[in-house]
Structure 1
Amino acid sequence: MITLIAAVGKNNELGKDNQLLWHLPDDFKRFKSITSGHHIIMGRKTFESFPKPLPNRTHIIITKNKNYNAPEGCIVVHSLEAALDAVPENQNVFVIGGGEIYKQSISIADCLDITRVDGDFEADTFFPEIDSKKWKLTQSTFHDKDEKHSFAFTFETYHKI
């Protein structure tokens, strides 16, 4: 199964200047619990936004740079197709960004795990529109803002129709 996992603002904002637009500890915990033990596919810029590779996950990095030097244990490929080929058969895989990789992969995804952040943000990177004719919202869990979360947000799960 191919799952796209992202946190997005009201207008599908993902980030600006290769940085997240919010800090939501419960979203980080959810992301970790969902993706741990799996292969994660990302673009080079997304990978470089991390201080180091995320633990307990196999990183597949898509880059046009044929000489890209990634840390040991990371897999470097040059297309989405090659990234998917690098995942062992019958394994779940998570696409974690960025905007261009989401655009390339949304048509072949089986599931979308979205954290919908209740806010409008200035951004330069966006998640593709979720077409209600192709995707059905199957789960929605609201989380109000609190002392750890400056914004309310909703965990949403969509499955391809």
Structure 2
Amino acid sequence: MILSLIVAADENNGIGINGNQPAFISADLKRFKSITQGNTIVMGRKTFEALPKGALPNRRNIVLTRQHDFRADHCEVIHSPGEIDNICQPGEKVFVIGGGEIYRHFLTRAGHIYQTLIHHTFSEIDTWFPEISEEEWTVEGREGPFRDVKSGYSFSYIDWVRI
């Protein structure tokens, strides 16, 4: 299994406000789709429930939850982070897509982080991405800044690789 994290975060690593992303940036959503399509995505229950149409198409959807009676159409459900090893194959590309607690569970196992950095600080943030330590991670690529016409936010793509 090749494990990566993919995240959109503000300048303070903020990723959520009341169960939703702080901003929806069209180019970021397209990038997310192009990177994850045809691969496996892992998310927490709250992230799954925030998806407007349920399971994301053209991807294997895995939901991690403590709720043993939780069911989700077109998703596999696991109840501990370690179960991922039992259901994913060697070489399978797996992308952790949130939320905060799920990112913390998998950060130490990931080899790559695909970050969209929103050049803004949202005051209402209640969920954060873990700190990316430059002692453990190095920037492999950086693009931007770009400006989202609809939201007005400036953002950059930063690809991190584990040292």
Fold agreement, TM-score > 0.5:
yes
Q: How does 1:25-44 map to 2 (within 5 A)?
A: 25-44=26-45
Return the letter of the residue paired with 2:70: Y
State the match for 1:145 in structure 2. Answer: 147
Alignment RMSD: 1.0
State the alpha-carbon separation in 1 of the partners of residues 133 and 7 from structure 2.
Answer: 16
Structure 1 residue 53, shift from structure 2 partner: 1.2
Q: Indicate how the Cα distance of structure 1 residues 146 and 159 shifts in structure 2: closer, same or farther if over 3 A, else same.
A: closer
State the alpha-carbon separation in 2 of the partners of residues 109 and 131 from structure 1.
Answer: 13
Q: How does 1:37-56 map to 2 (within 5 A)?
A: 37-51=38-52, 52-56=54-58
Query: For structure 2, which runs of at least 5 residues remain unmatched after alignment?
Result: none
Query: For structure 1, which runs of at least 5 residues remain unmatched after alignment?
Result: none
State the alpha-carbon separation in 1 of the partners of residues 19 and 45 from structure 2.
Answer: 11
State the match for 2:103 in structure 1. Answer: 102
State the match for 2:120 in structure 1. Answer: 119
Asked if 2 retains the 8 angstrom alpha-carbon contact of 1:43 and 1:97, the reply is yes
Cα deviation, 1:104-139, whole Å, max 9, x if unaligned, reads: 111110000000000001211000000000000010
- Percent identity for Structure 1 against Structure 2: 38
Deviating above 3 A after TM superposition, structure 1's stretches of 4 or more consecutive aligned residues are none
Q: Which range is displaced more, 146-155 or 73-82?
A: 146-155
State the match for 2:131 in structure 1. Answer: 129
Paired positions, count: 160
Q: Which range is displaced more, 121-130 or 83-92?
A: 83-92
Q: Indicate how the Cα distance of structure 1 residues 27 and 118 shifts in structure 2: closer, same or farther if over 3 A, else same.
A: same
Structure 1 residue 69, shift from structure 2 partner: 1.5
Q: Indicate how the Cα distance of structure 1 residues 66 and 3 shifts in structure 2: closer, same or farther if over 3 A, else same.
A: same
Q: How does 1:51-70 map to 2 (within 5 A)?
A: 51=52, 52-70=54-72
Q: Which range is displaced more, 79-88 or 136-145?
A: 79-88
2:159 corresponds, among 141, 157, 160, to: 157
TM-score by length of 1: 0.96
Structure 1 residue 74, shift from structure 2 partner: 0.8
Structure 1 residue 146, shift from structure 2 partner: 4.4
